[in-house]
Amino acid sequence: MSRIGKKPVPVPAGVTATIDGQKVVAKGPKGELSFVANDEVALKLEDNAITVSPVNDSKNARSKWGMSRTMISNILTGVKDGYERKLEINGVGYRAAMQGRNLQLALGFSHDVVYQPPEGINIACPKPTEIVLTGIDKQVLGQVASEIRAYRSPEPYKGKGVKYAEERIVRKEGKKK
């Protein structure tokens, strides 16, 4: 039994959720998101909460149960509050700046890297060594953060590169004489 799947997803105040077959549509103050659940799970909206349950007792249905519940929870949280991800840049001469809507990164290459964010993702640079990503879709936000980090991921000797703010770099000891 899925411990996560068993819990009903409460619909927060200020958010309207509708279920049309396998499609859940959430509208809130930040925008509108939808999620199409797999045919292996059944969705019900009752008592201002969405309940997800497997259609049968097969392993395939049970494996999609908890994931579907979490995806629905993420879209409801996204349209109400939104999500935020912070990245930090470490290294001499490494910095970030906004160039209109695009992000310009100086990461030690012979040229600056210019990243164009997808629709729905906002980028801000409060400091040259800090990048703040905001958006309502958690999956797209994580993908954008991962793509920016992949330009120069942190190395283990000096910790130079782009890292998530909550990430801890495991450092290695350098060469010995």
Structure tokens at 82: 């939104």
> Is residue 175 domain-resident?
no
Q: Decide which of 80, 105, 134 is a domain's last residue.
A: 80
> Is residue 173 domain-resident?
no
Do 88 and 27 fall into the same domain? Answer: no
Do 132 and 93 fall into the same domain? Answer: yes
Do 43 and 99 fall into the same domain? Answer: no
Structural domain containing residue 148: 83-164
Q: Decide which of 80, 110, 126 is a domain's last residue.
A: 80
> Across the chain, what does the average pLDDT equal?
92
> For residue 6, what pLDDT is reported?
86
Distance of CA 29 to the CA centre of its chain: 19
> For residue 1, what pLDDT is reported?
62
What are the tens digits of pLDDT across the range 64-99? 998 999 999 999 999 999 999 999 999 999 999 999
> For residue 88, what pLDDT is reported?
96
> Is residue 169 domain-resident?
no
What is the count of structural domains for the chain? Answer: 2
Q: Which residues of 28-56 are buried (b: 16+ CB within 10 A; e: fewer)?
A: bebeebebebeebbbbeeeeeebbbbbee
Do 87 and 71 fall into the same domain? Answer: no
Q: What are phi and psi of 6, to 5 degrees?
A: -65, -30
Given CA atoms 70, 118, 105, 148 in this order, what sign does their dihedral have? positive
pLDDT band per the 50, 70, 90 thresholds, residue 175: confident
> For residue 174, what pLDDT is reported?
87
> Is residue 170 domain-resident?
no
Asked if 33 and 15 count as a contact pair (C-beta separation under 8 A), the reply is no
Q: Pinpoint the alpha helices (H) of the chain.
A: 3-6, 59-80, 138-151
Q: Decide which of 16, 49, 80 is a domain's last residue.
A: 80
Q: Which pTM was predicted?
A: 0.88
What are the tens digits of pLDDT across the range 160-169? 999 999 999 9
> What CATH number has the domain bearing residue 105?
3.90.930.12
Q: How far apart are CA 3 and CA 70, in angstroms?
A: 11
What are the tens digits of pLDDT across the range 29-50? 999 999 999 999 999 998 899 9
